[in-house]
Amino acid sequence: MFSLHVFKKGSFFYLISLLLFTNIRCNYEHNKNAFRQHATWENYGGGADQSKFVVVDDITKSNVGKLKEVWFYPTGDNTSYYFNPVIVDTVMYVLARDNSLVALNAKNGNEIWIHSKLEGIARRGINYWESEDKKDRRLIFQKNDFLEEIDALTGKSILNFGTNGVVDLREGLGRDPKTVAQIQNGTPGQIFHNLIILGSATGEGYLSAPGDIRAYDVVTGKMAWSFRTVPHPGEYGYDTWPKDAYKYVGGTNCWGEMSIDEKRGIVYIPLGSPTNDFYGADRIGKDLFSDCIVALDAASGKLLWYFQLVHHDLLDYDVVAAPQLVTVNHQGKKVDVVAVATKQGFLFVFDRVTGKPLWPIEERPVPVSDVPGEKSWPTQPFPTVIPPYSRQSFTPNDLDDNNLTKDELEAWNLYISPAQRKIQKERISKAGMGLYTPLSLSRETVAVPGSLGGTSCGNTAANPEKGIVYLLNLSHPSVYPKLKTREEIESEEAKVELKQLGGLKQLITCQTCHGKDFKGLVGPSLLNLGDRLSFNAFKGIVGRGRGDMPANPSINDIDMKRIYDFLNSRGNSNNMAKGKNSKPSSDNSISAGPVVAEGGADGEQKVRSVNGGGPFSDGYPKNISDTPSVRYYSEGYGLEQSYLMPPPWSEIVSYDLNKGTIKWKVPLGKSDNGKNTGSPSKWPRYGMIVTSSGLVFCIAGDGTIYAYDADNGNVLWSSKLPMESDALPSMYEINGRHYLVVGASTPHSLQGLQNTNSKNEKIANTSEHHGGYVVFSLPQ
Peptide bond into 615 cis (omega under 30): yes
Query: What Rg do the C-alpha atoms of the chain give, in angstroms?
Result: 25
Q: What is the pLDDT of residue 616?
A: 45
Q: What is the pLDDT of residue 475?
A: 84
CB proximity list for 488: less than 8 A, separation 6 or greater = none
Q: List, for residues 571-590, the tens digit of each pLDDT value.
A: 644 433 333 333 443 443 44
Q: What is the pLDDT of residue 679?
A: 85
Q: What is the pLDDT of residue 548?
A: 58
Residue among 761, 764, 699, 754 nearest 729 (CA): 699
* Most confident of the ranges 526-540, 599-613, 679-693: 679-693
Angle at 115 between CA 110 and CA 119, to 5 degrees: 125
- Sheet of 303-308, strand order: 259-261, 266-270, 292-297, 303-308
Average of per-residue pLDDT across 591-610: 76
723 neighbors 686 (Cβ within 8 angstroms)? no
Q: What is the pLDDT of residue 603?
A: 73
Q: What percent of the chain has pLDDT over 90?
A: 62
Taking the whole predicted model, whether its pTM rises above 0.85 is answered as yes
Residues 226 and 197: their CA atoms lie apart, in Å, by 9
CB proximity list for 765: less than 8 A, separation 6 or greater = 525, 527, 528, 747, 748, 749
> From the CB of residue 736, how many other CB atoms can be counted at a distance below 10 Å?
7
Q: List, for residues 415-455, the tens digit of each pLDDT value.
A: 889 999 999 999 999 999 999 999 999 999 999 988 888 99
More reliable by pLDDT, 66 or 626: 66
- Residue 27: pLDDT band (50, 70, 90) is very low
Average pLDDT, the chain: 85
Q: List, for residues 295-311, the tens digit of each pLDDT value.
A: 999 999 999 999 999 99
- Residue 740: pLDDT band (50, 70, 90) is very high
Residues 548 and 551: their CA atoms lie apart, in Å, by 9
Q: What is the pLDDT of residue 508?
A: 66
204 neighbors 550 (Cβ within 8 angstroms)? yes
Q: What percent of the chain has pLDDT over 70?
A: 80
Q: At what angle do helices 506-514 and 557-568 cross, to 10 degrees?
A: 50
Domains detected in the chain: 35-482+635-777 (2.140.10.10)
Q: What is the pLDDT of residue 13?
A: 43
**DSSP designation for 170:** T
- Residue 543: pLDDT band (50, 70, 90) is low
Q: What is the pLDDT of residue 614?
A: 45
- Quick one: CA torsion of 751, 757, 759, 763, rounded to 10 degrees? 10
Q: List, for residues 184-199, the tens digit of each pLDDT value.
A: 999 999 999 999 999 9
**pLDDT of 611 over the 50 cut:** no
Q: What is the pLDDT of residue 495?
A: 67
